[in-house]
């Protein structure tokens, strides 16, 4: 289905985590089915659109790929605004990248709604023989921090990639249809009506158990430059 066609729902998703954990590789695998081991590193924020069909609905995903380098954190913070969900990515072979997910999660909850759905993704499952972070450890972190789900994946061999976005989209639709997710009401996600109304074209929000998609202003498109990540 072409991304420009009509849709029933629009969700904004931010993908965050340390540099070199494979965030861009996961998104490119999901978007194009391709893997490039030597792609350019994200500078600031990059952006892709993917339209999927689920439960008889057409869902458009606006996915923001944020740079993991410390010097771009202030740039990335503004893109958390009005996010419906966040994907926290770490490298299962790099314990340090897992430890910093707590900091990334704190940023999500500081700069977006505290009720934004969060998913934890362990990338580089193809290098499982070099694993430093167990699935049990990730599940415990998710349980302790009210992260909705944990998925392990490999952008390189395409295992688990579709599962990431299938699971997250299903969770977001569940919030819409039932009004609850892990005790959260739809009204708790995003901002109040008065706050959202002042947001102009940048607003994508929930209102009275109905998602009102508003087109994101894309005048300032993010860019990429060269490095491996």
Q: What is the pLDDT of residue 39?
A: 56
> For the chain, how many structural domains are there in total?
1
**Residue 1: inside a domain, yes or no?**
no
**Residue 136: inside a domain, yes or no?**
yes
SS (H, E, C) the chain: CCCCCCCCEEEEEEEECCCCCCHHHHHHHHHHCCCCCCCCEEECEEEEEEEEEECCEEEEEEEEEECCCHHHHHHHHHHHCCCCEEEEEEECCCHHHHHCHHHHHHHHHHHCCCCCEEEEEEECHHHHHHCCCCHHHHHHHHHHCCCCEEEECECCCCECHHHHHHHHHHHHHHHHHHCEECCEEHHHCCCCHHHHHCCHHHCCEEECCEEECCCCCCCCCCEEECCCC
Q: What is the pTM of this model?
A: 0.74
**Residue 3: inside a domain, yes or no?**
no
**Residue 107: inside a domain, yes or no?**
yes
Give pLDDT tens digits for 170-210: 999 998 776 654 433 333 333 333 333 323 332 233 222 23
**Residue 48: inside a domain, yes or no?**
yes
Mean confidence (pLDDT) of the chain: 75
**Residue 2: inside a domain, yes or no?**
no
In the predicted structure, residue 91 carries a pLDDT above the cut 60: yes
Give pLDDT tens digits for 107-128: 899 888 877 999 999 999 999 9
**Residue 4: inside a domain, yes or no?**
no
In the predicted structure, residue 3 carries a pLDDT above the cut 80: no
- The residue with greater pLDDT, 42 or 124, is 124
| Structural domain that includes position 105 | 9-225
Identify the CATH number of the domain in which residue 212 sits.
Answer: 3.40.50.300
**Residue 59: inside a domain, yes or no?**
yes
């Amino acid at each position: 289905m072409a991304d420009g066609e009509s849709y029933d729902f629009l969700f904004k998703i931010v993908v965050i985590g340390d540099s070199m954990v494979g965030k861009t590789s996961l998104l490119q695998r999901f978007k194009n089915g391709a893997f490039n081991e030597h792609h350019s590193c994200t500078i600031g924020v990059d952006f892709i659109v993917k339209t999927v069909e689920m439960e008889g609905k057409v869902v458009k995903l606006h996915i923001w790929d944020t740079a993991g380098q410390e010097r771009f954190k202030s740039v990335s913070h503004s893109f958390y605004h009005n996010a419906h969900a966040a994907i926290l990515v770490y490298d299962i072979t790099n314990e340090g990248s897992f430890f910093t997910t707590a900091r990334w999660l704190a940023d999500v909850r500081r700069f977006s709604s505290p009720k934004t759905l969060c998913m934890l993704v362990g990338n580089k499952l193809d290098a499982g023989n070099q694993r430093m972070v167990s699935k049990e450890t990730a599940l415990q972190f998710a349980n302790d921090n009210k992260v909705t789900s944990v998925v392990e994946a490999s952008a390189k061999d395409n295992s688990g990639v579709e599962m990431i976005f299938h699971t997250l989209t299903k969770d977001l639709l569940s919030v819409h249809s039932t009004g609850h997710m892990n005790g959260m009401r739809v009204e708790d996600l995003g901002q109040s009506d008065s706050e959202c109304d002042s947001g102009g074209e940048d607003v994508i929000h929930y209102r009275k158990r109905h998602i009102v998609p508003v087109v994101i202003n894309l005048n300032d498109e993010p860019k990429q430059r060269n490095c491996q990540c």
